[in-house]
Every structure is written in C-alpha cells, then in structure tokens.
Amino acid sequence: MDPGDRPIGRGRRHSFPVDILGRSLPYAMFKTRGPGAPDAQTNLQPALAVEDLRRLLAAAFPEMFSSQGGFSILEVWHGGSRVRKAFAPHSLRPGGTISGPAMMALADATMYIAVLGSIGWKPLAVTTSFHINFLKKPAARALDAECRLLKLGKRLAVGEIWVHSQGEVDPVAHASATYSIPDR
C-alpha cells in the first residue's frame, strides 16, 4: 500500500499528499500556502499582510522588530511564515557559534508570526509548549526560519519550525511549538 493511501469508510481509498520520505502530510497542510505547499491551488489569503504585521509588531515589540532589532519578516501565508534574524556578533557564544537562545527566539517569533498571519491581530496568543533540537553548528551569518502550522484550531495552533543558516540547505535546528489562541 502506498504510504499516501489510507482506507476511508467502507474500504475506499483516498490519496493524501506525502513528503519526500513517503510519510502522509497532516490534513492542515492542505490549507497552507507558500513555497513547497502540497496544494498550491488553495486560495486562502493571510489574515494580515506582511506590511501590516511589520507595522504592528514594530509597535508592540520594538526591541525585536525595529530596524535595529534584527528580525525581518520575509513572507507570510495562511498557515506559515518565513523570518530572518540578521547576524549580530553579540549573539555568538564561545566557540564561534550562534547561541541557542538566539535560535529559539527566532523559532518562537516565526511561529508567532505564522499564527498572527493566519488568525489576525491577536497579540495575546502565547506559547504554551516549545521544543527545539539543535542539529548542527550554525555558521556565523544570518539565520532564516520557516514555520508551517500543522493544526490551526479555535484554541490551539501547533506548528513546526526549521532554522537554516542563510544560504545553506541543511537545517541547524528544528522546533515544534504550540500556541494558545485567545477568543477570536
């Protein structure tokens, strides 16, 4: 049986998209937009445009999203986002690698932006769970992160975040996070 085929109801089969390893993608992935999305035909638009998010986040979190903060929103779509953290020498730890807290801040901010981009301006959405695996030493340069929401419900959003050194293919970290969403 093909990994993308799952029995539905009375023995019927329905083909689901699979990733490069042949694993079935979660249903929520059907609703995402952006590079590599399994269903690029979907017309769901983000609840907030990139420029609106930049303006609102710069006002709410000037230490991160101002021109000196180092975080910049590259792209937002319904169900995901891409964010860059500019390289800053003060984020290096002994050994010349970017510190774990800097990578965690980028991953968490990317998830926050994906959630806000999908539900609209709800600044009281908060992290309820966060887990990160550091996969390899990041180069001393800017970091890019991409978040894809796996579930976007009324109360919770679950997503995964991949962090890469700018210009590199192999990820330096992988995170998963859950956000609590306030009443809409």
Domains in the chain with CATH codes: 30-180 (3.10.129.10)
With CA atoms as reference, report the closest residue to 42 among 7, 86, 77, 73. Answer: 77
Contact between residue 98 and residue 53 where contact means Cβ atoms under 8 Å apart: no
What are the tens digits of pLDDT across the range 78-122? Answer: 999 999 999 988 888 888 889 999 999 999 999 999 999 999 999
- Cα gap 123→139, rounded to integer Å: 32
Q: What is the pLDDT of residue 43?
A: 59
Model confidence band, residue 9 (pLDDT cutoffs 50, 70, 90): very low
Q: What is the pLDDT of residue 181?
A: 94
What percent of the chain clears pLDDT 90, i.e. is strictly above it? 54
Residues contacting 26, CB < 8 A, separation 6+: 150, 151
Model confidence band, residue 24 (pLDDT cutoffs 50, 70, 90): low
Which tokens belong to 159?
A: 């997503």
User: How far, rounded to the nearest angstrom, does the alpha carbon of residue 129 sit from its chain's CA centroid?
Assistant: 14
Q: What are phi and psi of 45, to 5 degrees?
A: -100, 155
